[in-house]
Amino acid sequence: MASIPPEYQQSTNLPPAGLSFNEKQPETIRLYPLSNYTFGTKEAQPEEDPPGDYLHHDQEEIPGFKARLNERLAPTGSLSARDTPSSADWTVHSTLAQWYRPNFETFMYPYLPPHTTRPKECKKLYFIQLPHTKVLAVPKNMKLLAVPLFELYDNTGRYGPQLSAIPHYLSRYRWEFVDEEGKVVAWTPGGPVDERVGGAKVLAGGEAEGEANGEMQGVKAEEGA
């Protein structure tokens, strides 16, 4: 559900405004259209256990995580010249969730079991806030997907219990949707009442895209996921 600006409303009979319902809200997150981002490909990489990667025991958490993101998605060659210094870095906004693997089994817990003192693995899910524009390069043997939240929600059969819980984690934020001209065109409720209130897609990567060494693919989309 998103609020619609007055210029897009089809009726002049608006419902009465109630009291504000915005106490203890986190900061507003701004989402930019998918057409603001440029996607290309680069050389194939060995496939690890997706999604994500592992950090060595002597690596700092955030610098190590950014290094893994650069290995996977940072542009190379001529593509890297299109990225500005401000947008080249990754903004790690917050940790959404973390799970623990107490033994060598596949099941992971969203808490540390009381009988476990040294878990075998800790998996963390980060929220990465993208800038206004950014250049991304995907290994040719991989794909970058934009999956709608409604497809993830309660879809443990396809995405598993961890990824299907992402809509729950993101529900705490308030979102602003911006068009290509930088104008806020919709937002999720939760903020103060003011005068404004009134499926999976392949982005890049895959064997079908045969460009090498980070050459441009011209992948653009008309609207965000």
- The total of structural domains in the chain comes to 1
CA angle 155, 127, 67 (to 5 degrees): 115
Does pLDDT of 100 surpass 90?
yes
Q: Strands, E, within 15-166: which ranges?
A: 28-31, 37-42, 91-101, 121-129, 134-139, 143-146
Domain of residue 61, residue span: 23-219
Do the domain assignments include residue 5? no
pLDDT in tens, 82-94: 777 767 789 999 9
In a domain, 200, yes or no: yes
Please give the pLDDT value at position 105: 86
* Beta carbons of 185 and 9 less than 8 angstroms apart: no
CA distances from 117 to 55, 101, 102, 111, 112 (A): 20, 11, 8, 12, 8
Confidence at residue 2, expressed as pLDDT on a 0 to 100 scale: 54
- List the CATH number of the domain containing 66: 3.90.79.10
- Per-residue model confidence as pLDDT tens digits over 158-191: 999 999 999 999 998 989 899 888 888 888 865 5
What is the predicted pLDDT for the residue at 220? 40
Asked if the structure places residue 12 within a domain, the reply is: no
pTM of the model as a whole: 0.73
End-to-end CA gap in the chain: 14
152 or 27: whose pLDDT is higher? 152
